[in-house]
Amino acid sequence: MVEKPFSSAAIAAPSEGGPSKYFCEEEPLDDREGPAYQKLASLIGNELKPPETLDVDTVKYVQEEAKRISAKYRSAFKDLGEYNLEKIFYYIVRNIAGYGDLHVVMADPNIEDISCNGIGKPIYIWHRKHESLATNIVYRDEEGYDNLVLKLAHVSGKHISSAFPILDAMLPEKHRLAATFMREVSSGGSTFCIRKFRPEPFSIVDLIRLGTIDTELAAYCWLLLENKRSLMVIGETGAGKTSILNALAGLINPSNKVITVEEVAELNLANENWVQLVSRQGFRFGASDTSVITLFDLVKVSLRYRPDYIVIGEIRGEEAYVLFQAMATGHGGLCTMHGDSVDNAVKRLTSPPMNVSKDYVPLMNVCIVMGRVELPREREGLTFGRRIRGVSEIIEGDRFVTVSEWDPVSDSYNTDLEKSELLEAAAYRQGLTKEEVIQEINRREEIITFLFKSNLGSQADVTRTLVNYGQFRRRQKYAPLMPPKQRVLKVY
């Protein structure tokens, strides 16, 4: 059941055979409930009061207003029982505050992606366990379907029309929306794709639990970020680049100032010293539209905020050049980019439109290659997952040192920090040996393991740990290794 007792979802093969489908089932309104629903919807349209503040739960507010108005006109609904009224309230919320026929798929937490390729075609979803599935939802009324796309745009606070038929926006629940309108750019009619995100983003501990990264790699990245090294995450679409970027950004010292730059606001940090910048589409026709604010503009502006770290959701244009200029002046950088290998990523960076000089490429110290892979054994009920396929240090424009690789046979990571040249440089700057720095990584790995085993996996838990451990380190910099229990007591 998705929303008991009125809606549910099932995955099954159709009776006529063929691949499995995702079936949305909702209890329909009967002959008495239908007219009552229309009556209440009309009354709400006339009497619904706007909330006093914008910071309200829309679903809860509409539900409470529906109950208030139905109680006010009790005589109009006197023949209906409590169950009938609750069903009517469900449809009121579904159609006014919700997403209509998409209500079930939007409410299902196992769905990562929802897309419609045009009128008369089934809605497709990407299920966390079953991957791509067609659903039994098909829009056949073109006018009603276009109105749905308009509604999606309006609740996102953006505009879509025949004049501006392409939309990239964020829904109120922080899901990413891409859409086209009518037949201006898509011959099959309006289209949309909704990329769903968790209300609480994955922390580094959550990703360890899923196997996306292990504790040693997490501790390695933690130490590099503390030393203001720059990291780039590459991979294909759906590989988990944004999730790992958000988790890595959560390892930045909370006292550091972080500026995030994105086309659509997807990153969600627990860091209070954080400024989130989002690009803006144009409002007028013509190539000289000065209302457009690009990632390039935002990266330039971010340098005036005196950031310790600049985090770019995805680089693919001239903003890459400004990011590398910023890293050359001592700022740390984090970003994602589409690519399947370190070598190809470097080729993209040094080619138009990014045009980063090959001499500047090593300023992006580490390249993390993400992939969506088949697992050798089922994990968390999944037969596929997102994994860090490799971690390489960029020493020169054409010389890389691979410090970790994912083993597809054992679903584990083969990490050799002795190969790391970045750790050697960090040790030299601090007057330490490389062995002492690796010992520090081992200490941090035990801290992360403690969080993992104690089910303290939220971003707030990780941030609190960074603060406490930073205070501990200031008191005892690279202190001799103590028994784990004593150290845990001191850190936590």
Q: For position 57, what pLDDT does the model report?
A: 86
* Closest CA relative to residue 346, chosen from 282, 398, 269, 298: 398
Q: For position 490, what pLDDT does the model report?
A: 42
Per residue of the chain (492 residues), give pLDDT as tens: 577 889 999 998 877 778 899 999 999 999 999 999 999 999 998 988 888 877 788 889 999 999 999 999 988 888 899 999 999 999 999 999 999 999 999 999 899 999 999 999 999 999 988 889 999 999 999 999 999 999 999 999 899 999 999 999 999 988 999 999 999 999 999 999 999 988 888 999 999 999 999 999 999 999 999 999 999 999 998 899 999 999 999 999 989 999 999 998 889 998 889 999 999 876 555 555 667 899 999 999 999 999 999 999 999 999 999 999 999 999 999 999 999 999 999 999 999 999 999 999 999 999 999 999 988 887 767 788 999 999 999 999 889 999 999 999 999 999 999 999 999 999 999 899 999 999 999 999 999 999 999 988 888 889 888 888 877 776 665 444 444 444 443 443
Give the pTM.
Answer: 0.85
Q: Are 138 and 121 in contact (CB under 8 A)?
A: yes
Hey, what domains does the chain have and what are their CATH numbers?
7-195 (3.30.450.380), 204-491 (3.40.50.300)
Q: For position 478, what pLDDT does the model report?
A: 47
Q: At which residue do the structure tokens 């798929």 appear?
A: 105
**Distance set, CA 291 to CA 125, 260, 294 (Å):** 35, 21, 10
In 317-382, which ranges are continuous DSSP H helix?
319-328, 342-349
Q: For position 284, what pLDDT does the model report?
A: 57
* Closest CA relative to residue 111, chosen from 136, 137, 132, 139: 132
Q: Tell me the pairing of strands 332-338 and 231-235.
A: parallel
